[in-house]
């Protein structure tokens, strides 16, 4: 190996050597399985570590650019792939904590480092000398035979082109400004949403105002009051485990309206946390960036790399679902209005009434309500069920690890191994809401799987973060069926990351509208009788959920699909309409929503979009720009894929092995449709989805 190449790789390898005895982020982790040493990490460690990561990668890029040797795959593409080892490791810790366990100091650091990270990325992607070396290797593409190497080369080349490498100096300068501004606007959007979500409390002092609420919900609200220093009062928040059951069961219509309005008006109150102006800026800046890069709209830019390929295909897909779903929702609304009148109500059905009367209708039609199910979905039993399923399908084993470094005392840690004992990875679980955690549920990584530059496997450290119902009083954490579904879903993402065999982190990433397949397919098992018998056991008696309840659950599963599908599709449409604008947004987000959803698509007033613009975190502060449709796009894939399990047996080892080999392990090594057809044998059909949702 030539001297320059040796020096270059030495620069990459020394990123694990200690740079500071006082900063645990800047030395090799002396922890079990080399997980982050959370107890040692302090807020003041992050900025120096992130800046050191930027500095190290910049030095390696400089060495690549100034290497007098001719560009090769190894000294340019592969060297670049491993140039950010330290920065990626530190970012993984920082941004995961910023989402799951944040505080004002972390938020301040995020605001300070965001423009620096944006500038660092631009410094790389807009480096003409570096891009000329990448182009030279790209011209030699035909000499590569390893599919993963080909994919890394293609991805690297395309990232530079899409990052503005072909622009002139004036446009490059403007692109830098746009990227910097967007990085700060996104952060502000998320911070505003967290503040508004945490800022509302429905405080109940009169027991009569608890009418209709199940005892478990009342106990949870009492515990919240006690923790908030208001013992003797009941507090309801805008977190789903508190909000949703209140809307489902509270007999106090005026209180349902109050909490619903607080939820649906988040960041839309013309105060310091208002997101309307931020949204206009984000939408317009993203459009300007897309046009700079040669695309007519933001959606064209984003979808160019997705399975959907272009906005027309997405709109065509959504339109096939919108009409039957809206008709079903209208029928449901009429049914609920009749129930209101039957009970002597003289008011028109409103959004804050829907869940309440829908729950009553479910009970009337199927003699079933959520409270009948919850005693059978104790959180630890559900977790055992997920582990059981992973073992049945893939032979995985889970061992709880005590005395592991954690960032919050509630976090649990597991080692995952193959059936022969081979280490797979470390899995962190963080399952309950708290003030420092953003809403929702997600999967992420403190460290992704990859191979080092000298070929050694680096096992992953993966996390699931959720906001599930807490234990309350004498009750353990009892989940709603929706929360069980979310648990299975997010673990599917974690499983995908844990089982990845990609040697390069860049190649492990998959298009947004394919990434939901591994998560959503897992949801299909949760209500299978064979699975329910394993994990759906009464928390007091240990009795397996009765067959009659399973039958009621099955019969009621398609009830309310009009509402569920329409509120989701409305958000997907809103996302696409924002990002297919060809000119700047000149009206307020509220006006835009009304124009699109009510006037253009005919959304009925009893239903609102699952996410209204001002709290649509997926598209304004996350990676789902022009991609929120991907959940139902992937549902076509998962419904079609699960048909094969139904045909072969839901625990069929050969089918599971094929899914693992062709989908879970492959990441983005090949085109998603190619991978899917290798598993399924054909392209997916939409029929299983329509049947599953009761829309056909």
Distance of CA 61 to the CA centre of its chain: 31
For 441-471, the three-class secondary structure string (H helix, E strand, C coil) is CEEEEEECCEECCCCCEECCEEEEECCCCCC
In terms of C-beta density within 10 A (0-12 exposed, 13-18 middle, 19 or more buried), how is residue 353 classed?
buried
- Under 8 Å CB-to-CB from 59, ≥6 apart: which residues? 11
**Residue 338: both structure tokens together:** 């009749």
Which residue from 36, 107, 41 is spatially nearest to 428, judged by alpha carbons?
36
In whole angstroms, give the CA distance from residue 478 to residue 428.
20
In whole angstroms, give the CA distance from residue 362 to residue 332.
11
Task: Write out the DSSP string of 469-533.
Answer: PPPBTTB--B--HHHHHHHHHHHHHHHHHHT---SSHHHH---HHHHTHHHHGGGGGTT-HHHHH
What separation, in Å, do the N-terminal and C-terminal C-alpha atoms of the chain show?
64
CB atoms within 10 A of CB 340: 18
Which residue from 683, 391, 640 is spatially nearest to 521, judged by alpha carbons?
640
The answer to whether 251 touches 212, Cβ cutoff 8 Å, is yes
In whole angstroms, give the CA distance from residue 48 to residue 42.
11
Task: Write out the DSSP string of 642-655.
Answer: HHHHHHH-TT-HHH
What's the CA angle centered on 576, arms 571 and 578, to 5 degrees? 95
In whole angstroms, give the CA distance from residue 499 to residue 493.
10
Give exposure, 171-200, as e/b (b: 16+ Cβ within 10 Å). ebeebbebbbebbebbbbbbbbbbebbbeb
**Residue 243: both structure tokens together:** 């909000």
In whole angstroms, give the CA distance from residue 686 to residue 671.
20
Is 490 catalytic? The answer is yes
The answer to whether 278 touches 193, Cβ cutoff 8 Å, is no
**Residue 495: both structure tokens together:** 């499983």
Catalytic residue among 81, 370, 490, 577: 490
In whole angstroms, give the CA distance from residue 356 to residue 336.
10
In whole angstroms, give the CA distance from residue 253 to residue 437.
29
Q: Is 398 helix (H, G, I), strand (E, B) or coil?
A: strand
Q: Which residues are marked as active site?
A: 490
């Amino acid at each position: 190996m030539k001297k320059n190449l040796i020096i270059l790789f030495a620069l990459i390898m020394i990123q694990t050597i200690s740079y500071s005895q006082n900063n645990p982020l800047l030395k090799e982790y002396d922890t079990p399985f080399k997980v982050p040493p959370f107890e040692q990490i302090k807020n003041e460690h992050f900025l120096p570590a992130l800046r050191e990561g930027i500095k190290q990668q910049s030095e390696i890029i400089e060495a690549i650019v100034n290497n007098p040797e001719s560009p090769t795959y190894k000294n340019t593409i592969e060297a670049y792939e491993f140039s950010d080892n330290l920065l990626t490791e530190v970012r993984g810790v920082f941004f995961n904590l910023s989402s799951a366990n944040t505080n004002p100091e972390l938020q301040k650091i995020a605001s300070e480092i965001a423009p620096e990270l944006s500038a660092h990325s631009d410094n790389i992607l807009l480096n003409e000398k570096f891009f000329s070396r990448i182009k030279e290797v790209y011209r030699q593409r035909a000499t590569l035979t390893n599919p993963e190497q080909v994919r890394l080369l293609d991805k690297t080349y395309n990232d530079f082109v899409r990052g503005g490498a072909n622009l002139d100096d004036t446009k490059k300068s403007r692109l830098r400004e746009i990227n910097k501004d967007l990085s700060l606007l996104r952060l502000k959007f998320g911070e505003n949403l967290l503040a508004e979500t945490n800022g509302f409390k429905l405080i109940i002092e009169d027991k009569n105002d608890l009418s209709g609420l199940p005892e478990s919900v009342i106990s949870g609200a009492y515990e919240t009051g006690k923790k908030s220093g208001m013992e003797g009062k009941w507090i309801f928040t805008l977190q789903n485990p508190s909000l949703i059951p209140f809307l489902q069961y509270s007999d106090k219509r005026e209180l349902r309206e109050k909490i619903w309005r607080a939820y649906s008006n988040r960041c839309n109150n013309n105060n310091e946390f208002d997101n309307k102006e931020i949204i206009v800026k984000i939408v317009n800046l993203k459009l300007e960036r897309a046009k700079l890069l040669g695309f007519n709209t933001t959606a064209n830019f984003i979808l160019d790399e997705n399975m959907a390929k272009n906005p027309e295909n997405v709109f065509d897909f959504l339109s096939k679902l919108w009409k039957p779903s809206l008709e079903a929702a209208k029928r449901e609304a009429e049914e609920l209005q009749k129930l209101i009148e039957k009970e002597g109500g003289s008011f028109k059905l409103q959004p804050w009434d829907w869940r309440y009367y829908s729950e009553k209708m479910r009970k009337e039609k199927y003699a079933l309500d959520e409270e009948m199910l919850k005693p059978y979905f104790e959180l630890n039993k559900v977790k055992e069920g997920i582990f059981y399923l992973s073992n049945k399908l893939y032979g995985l084993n889970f061992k709880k690890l005590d005395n592991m470094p954690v960032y919050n005392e509630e976090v649990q840690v597991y080692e995952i191994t193959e059936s022969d004992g081979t280490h797979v990875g470390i899995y962190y679980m963080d399952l309950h809401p708290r003030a420092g955690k953003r809403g929702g549920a997600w999967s992420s990584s403190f460290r992704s799987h990859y191979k080092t530059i000298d070929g050694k496997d680096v096992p992953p450290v993966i996390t699931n973060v959720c906001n599930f119902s807490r234990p309350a009083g004498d009750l353990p954490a009892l989940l709603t069926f929706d929360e069980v579904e979310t648990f299975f879903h997010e673990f599917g993402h974690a499983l995908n990351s844990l089982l990845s065999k990609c040697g390069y982190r860049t190649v492990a990433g998959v298009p947004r509208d394919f990434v939901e397949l591994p998560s959503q397919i897992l949801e299909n098992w949760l209500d299978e009788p064979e699975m329910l018998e394993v994990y759906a056991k009464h928390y007091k008696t240990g009795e397996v959920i009765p067959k009659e309840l399973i039958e009621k659950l099955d019969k009621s599963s398609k009830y309310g699909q009009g509402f569920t599908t329409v509120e989701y599709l409305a958000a997907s449409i809103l996302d696409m309409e924002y990002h297919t604008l060809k000119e700047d947004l000149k009206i307020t987000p509220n006006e835009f929503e009304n124009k699109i959803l009510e006037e253009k698509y005919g959304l009925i007033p009893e239903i609102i979009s699952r996410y209204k613009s001002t709290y649509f975190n997926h598209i304004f502060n996350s990676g789902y720009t022009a991609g929120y449709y991907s959940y139902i796009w992937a549902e076509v894939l998962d419904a079609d894929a699960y048909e094969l399990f139904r045909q072969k047996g839901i625990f069929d080892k050969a089918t599971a092995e094929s899914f693992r080999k062709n989908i879970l392990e492959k990441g983005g090594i090949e085109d998603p449709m190619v991978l899917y057809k290798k598993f399924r044998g054909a392209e997916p059909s939409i029929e299983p989805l329509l049947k599953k949702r009761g829309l056909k």
